[in-house]
Amino acid sequence: MNKFSYIGKSVKRKDALLKVEGLSKYADDYVFEDMLYAAAVRSPKPRIKILNISDAKAKKISGYVTLVTHKDIGGVKQWPIVINDYPFLCADETKFEGETIALVVAKTLRAARKAAKLVEIKYKELPFLTDPLKSLEKKSLKIYGSDNIFSKFIIKKGNAKDAMKKADIAVKDEFSTNYQVHGYLETQCAIAVPEPGGLMTVHSSTQCPFYVHDAVAAVLGIGYNKVKIVQAVTGGGFGGKEDVPALVASHAAVCAVKTNRPVKLVYDRKEDFMSMSKRHPSWSSVSYGAKKDGKITSCIIKYVLDGGAYSTLSPIVLWRGAVHAAGPYKIDNILIEAYAVATNKAPSGAFRGFGQPQISFAQESLIDDLSEKLSIDPIDLRLKNIIGPGAKTATGQKIEASCGLKEALLAVRKNSDWNKKIKAKKFSGEKARGIGISAVYYGVGLGAKGKFLDRAGAYVNIFRDASVGINVGNTEMGQGALTVLSQIAAETLNAPYENIRVQEVDTSKVSDSGPTVASRTTLMSGNAIIEAAKPLRNRIFTMAKSMLLKKGAESSAIMNAYQGVFSMGGKKVSFKEVIAECWARRLKMGEQGWHIAPNTTFNDKDGQGDIYSVYSYNANIAEIEIDKETGVIKPIKMSCAYDVGKIVNPVLAEGQAEGGILQGMSWALYENLVYKNGKMLNPNFTDYVLANTNDKPEYDIIFIEKLYERGPYKAKGMGEVPLIGMAGAIANAVKNACGIRVKKIPILPEDVWLGLKNKRKAK
């Protein structure tokens, strides 16, 4: 393991200079001859019946070209994603403020946006829903189906209600979380370019080009082989470039077909806020029962996600949250009921962590309350109950060898000086210090409910100059995928790292490889690259040995391959020399690879099954300081340990950890999207507060490499794990600092201030 050429090394990032020097081409940087611009006409209210659309005033704007409505759609009218309830363009009813009704096309972006504001919508306001709990009530207004429920799941193991009654100690509480906006720097953008012969090429800011491919082919009513999606360099995703870019690209494509010219559709920040997906708001009721010695015997949870106006990815997000809802604990009796429900607000969708952060905040908060009631140290309680090799999860899945959760908890306990700080004096003048813990497990990949999408392709092509071109189906969106995948390819082929180029995704060059989500890129595309590279490696290594023998190397010697050089018995030959000989002998120097995830199972009746092929693990300790006069919380230090298998690139892994910690901390403390009467009140970065570098705490990051035998060089998945447990750790630190249990996210200064005030009154 310590003799790798590139695996485990912090090699230079492939796209670093291009981005630092401003040379990367993002979607909005592309310009095509005779290109037009589109702008959306949006619903002015949470729910309306459309009576008439008029562009009479818009036509007076210089540069105006045309108005595009649902009547211009040549294919299907509904966006094909999971349930298929979202119309590409509204025909008679809108279900949230900001929903796209029509599109104006003009010669300039300024003209398109100005004209869009002048399109007149005659409408009748309809009653609407904004509260997901009221949406669940039997007598509520029905805006989706007969019950407003997009999706529901149940996880049953043992007899949770009976075990709860028999428990020595029980705790129960309710928790809620708000939206989180992705905050990517690059807003949504797509350019649709009609080609001769009825073809369509779309350049898109997307993390899931194949979702875009599905949607564009469907909306245009043409074959997949006539549609090509090219991923432009993507300026951030975090889940916000998963599903919704398909809608943006489809709108651009319909406009391009109607005008027979390239059309660019780029959102401003306000409309991106108002209409694009976000992290689901949530409500949960959580109960734990335990014996006096701390053994957790029962868990009962009701978990509700606010899906917004359309289902989009809510069923999948809900499923992941539900199957992880009991936490990383071995509990014999579990009952989890989970619902994703409709409201007349912007649709919620994928966000880093995918339904887990919300319920992790709730259950990890309550685990701390249980530890207090039992008079057991919070880490000791977790160590007594956490899953490990041989233990079974809430779905009855037996955990295999690659599990480092115990080691992670012990590591952060030591590094944070927990034993001293948990007992330390909390108040010093007007400041209070606190420390809090959380534990996380995360199923890597799409799991049993997404297994038919859990595949990945790769094409590896070695050119005559020994440079290597690689096409994959999973995307780079800032996380470092181009670099990590290049390291895997270089290691497998024994090619110099600088010879490798992994390209942005082009759907015409590799088969549908599913979405770039669920921390699956390294695992899936890495394995696909290895699969493609294996036959090439065999040819290259055989040729290298033959060349070394011709140079006089002893046949009994062992051939070594390291950093692009083959050596044996004192003789050497370079990768470039070997490739030249392979080409001279007309050997095949291009191969495809294909990887599918191991089989997984899920029983819809009771939620039991082996639902993921492998899990990653994480423990977090948050140290915070509270100003008692203002309630302001200052994060001081985050001690975090991760088991994500073999670390391919330590610097990139640390960057993923730091970014996830800050993003999770930001959601926990600052990000507060406000809706009132179905209207979003703060759709901008002025009033929606995000953490920035000035808010950054001290980081203490540890990696515990529990190797996964089926992973590429025994790696698992990293991207989402660092965010999931941050809110729980911070909430527990607040409780430790001042004795206040805040049961909502974000934990705003006014919540803490009011809690302290009420606490003083109670005394």
Please list, in sequence order, all residues whose beta carbon lies within 8 angstroms of the beta carbon of residue 188, skipping any fewer than 6 positions away.
205, 241, 244, 245, 248, 265, 266, 267, 272, 276
The domain segmentation of the chain, as residue ranges, is: 16-23+455-596, 31-127+182-275, 282-448+603-762
- DSSP states of 702-735: EE-----TTSGGGB---TTHHHHTHHHHHHHHHH
Check residue 1 and give its pLDDT. Answer: 45
First to last CA, the chain: 60
Cα separation of 71 and 92, whole Å? 12
Please list, in sequence order, all residues whose beta carbon lies within 8 angstroms of the beta carbon of residue 255, skipping any fewer than 6 positions away.
36, 38, 68, 103, 105, 192, 263, 265
Tokens of 371: 């530890």
Cα separation of 412 and 436, whole Å? 11
Count Cβ atoms below 10 Å from residue 737 Cβ, excluding itself. Answer: 23
Sign of the four-CA dihedral 341, 343, 349, 354: negative
- The CATH number corresponding to 16-23+455-596 among 3.60.21.10, 3.30.365.10, 3.10.20.600, 3.40.630.30 equals 3.30.365.10
Check residue 2 and give its pLDDT. Answer: 61
Cα separation of 712 and 533, whole Å? 12
Peptide bond into 683 cis (omega under 30): no
Cα separation of 154 and 610, whole Å? 15
- Residue linked to tokens 């009746």: 605
Q: Which amino acid is at 280?
A: H
Beta bridge partners of 39: 104
Cα separation of 383 and 413, whole Å? 11
SS3 of 529, please? helix
pTM of the predicted model, to two decimals? 0.97
C-beta of residue 37 within 8 angstroms of C-beta of residue 264: yes
Check residue 427 and give its pLDDT. Answer: 77
User: Which of the 8 DSSP states describes residue 506?
Assistant: B
Identical fold for domains 16-23+455-596 and 31-127+182-275, yes or no, is no
Cα separation of 485 and 521, whole Å? 9
- Residue linked to tokens 């808010």: 695
Q: Which amino acid is at 126?
A: L
Low-confidence ranges of the chain (pLDDT < 50): 1
- DSSP states of 541-590: HHHHHHHHHHTT--TTSPPEEETTEEEETTEEEEHHHHHHHHHHTT---E
Q: Which amino acid is at 274?
A: M
Architecture of domain 31-127+182-275: Alpha-Beta Complex (3.90)
Angle in degrees, CA 582, 586, 588, rounded to 5: 80
User: Which of the 8 DSSP states describes residue 642?
Assistant: E
Sign of the four-CA dihedral 35, 98, 283, 696: positive
Between the CA of residue 511 and those of 213, 227, 524, 712, what are the distances in Å? 11, 13, 13, 20
SS3 of 76, please? coil
- Residue linked to tokens 């020595």: 168
- Does domain 282-448+603-762 fall under CATH 3.20.20.70? My reply is no
Check residue 763 and give its pLDDT. Answer: 73
Cα separation of 745 and 667, whole Å? 7
User: Which of the 8 DSSP states describes residue 7?
Assistant: T
Cα separation of 583 and 41, whole Å? 57
Q: Taking each helix axis from N to C terminus, what angle separates 245-259 and 209-220, rounded to the nearest 10 degrees?
A: 40
SS3 of 683, please? coil
- DSSP states of 685-706: TTTS----GGG--EEEEEE---
